[in-house]
Amino acid sequence: MSNKRRVAVIGLGSMGGAMAATLHRAGWDVAGFDPSESARRAAEQGGISTTADIQDLAGTPYAVLSLPSAKVVESTVPALLTAPGTIAIIDTTTSEPDTSKSMADLAASRGAAFIDAPVSGGRDGAATGSLSAFVGATEDALDAAEPVLEALTGGKYVHIGGPGSGNVVKLLNNVLAAANLVSVGEALGVAKAYGIDPAVAAASISNASGGSKVSAAMYPAWVFSGTHDSGFSLGLMARDAALAIDVARRIGEQPELLAAASMQWQDALTALGPAADFTEIARTVAPAVTPAGAPTTIPGA
């Protein structure tokens, strides 16, 4: 196998593990790192070689990052660049634009490329190579990373602009989704109070101007069913929404409606905890529309 078909996946959780498996099936020589032994063991069962020491993967031609925060990205990228050989680092983390800019500069100084490519599509998209990605990169860096991007997205990525711009648009995407989850829940709660089946109301709205992926897919699949098993945590969505507002305020913008929605996610975080599924926001904004009902402790109660 060509040396250039080697890729390291850093972070083998729900998303990273699925991306590693997708790359493996596509014929890449995949090695993975995660501090969690159970995550490494799960990846190994799928044919992925793993290590508990990230230094073992320094200099791998390609690396895909799927990490919990910008802070972890900042400590990971320098470790991967301690040995020569890196062609491109593709960061799928929902990170911060300033971090991506500094990591792109660092990689360029070592003769490598770094792109911020936060993804959308969840674990199903990661498992099937059908994610979409918001890409921030120079043209040269994008060219270097393209083989891995193609394998993960099937070409469904948009080059937003320079380093950091992918992070900005992904955060805006997430805070819009967060606000929509709240607003759809509140609207369906009103429908329920009028004696209207929320599922019927959601289906009707989804065929009209107020419809969205939230009303057409998320509420039917995960809220009305009471399964709440999307695989994306409430803690991560609350973090992303808050970060989007923070990034906006750093440049003098004051998105009041989005900020109000973000505060409702912080309330839900207090009531349900970070490990809850993100669709459980319905339990705090419209508990009557989900079989799970309201949490035991409602914020402010």
Give tens-digit pLDDT for 250-297: 999 999 999 999 999 999 999 999 999 999 999 999 999 999 999 986
Could you report the per-residue pLDDT of 169-213, keeping only the tens digit for each?
Answer: 999 999 999 999 999 999 999 999 999 999 999 999 999 999 999
Could you report the per-residue pLDDT of 61-112, keeping only the tens digit for each?
Answer: 999 999 999 999 999 999 999 999 999 999 999 999 999 999 999 999 999 9
Give the pTM: 0.91
Geometric angle at alpha carbon 102, from 99 and 107, rounded to 5°: 120
Contact criterion met (CB below 8 Å) for 166 and 160: yes
Q: What share of the chain in percent tops pLDDT 90?
A: 94
Could you report the per-residue pLDDT of 48-61, keeping only the tens digit for each?
Answer: 999 999 999 999 99
Q: What is the mean pLDDT of residues 28-54?
A: 96
Question: How high is the pLDDT of residue 152?
Answer: 97
CATH 3.20.20.70 fits 167-289, yes or no: no
Question: How high is the pLDDT of residue 4?
Answer: 74
Q: Where are the domains of the chain?
A: 3-161, 167-289
Question: How high is the pLDDT of residue 104?
Answer: 98
Question: How high is the pLDDT of residue 1?
Answer: 43
Of 171, 159, 173, 174, the residue nearest 115 (C-alpha):
159
Question: How high is the pLDDT of residue 296?
Answer: 82
Give the pLDDT band of residue 231 (cuts 50, 70, 90).
confident
Give the pLDDT band of residue 134 (cuts 50, 70, 90).
very high
Q: For the CA atoms of the chain, what is the radius of gyration?
A: 20
CATH 3.40.50.720 fits 3-161, yes or no: yes
Question: How high is the pLDDT of residue 3?
Answer: 62
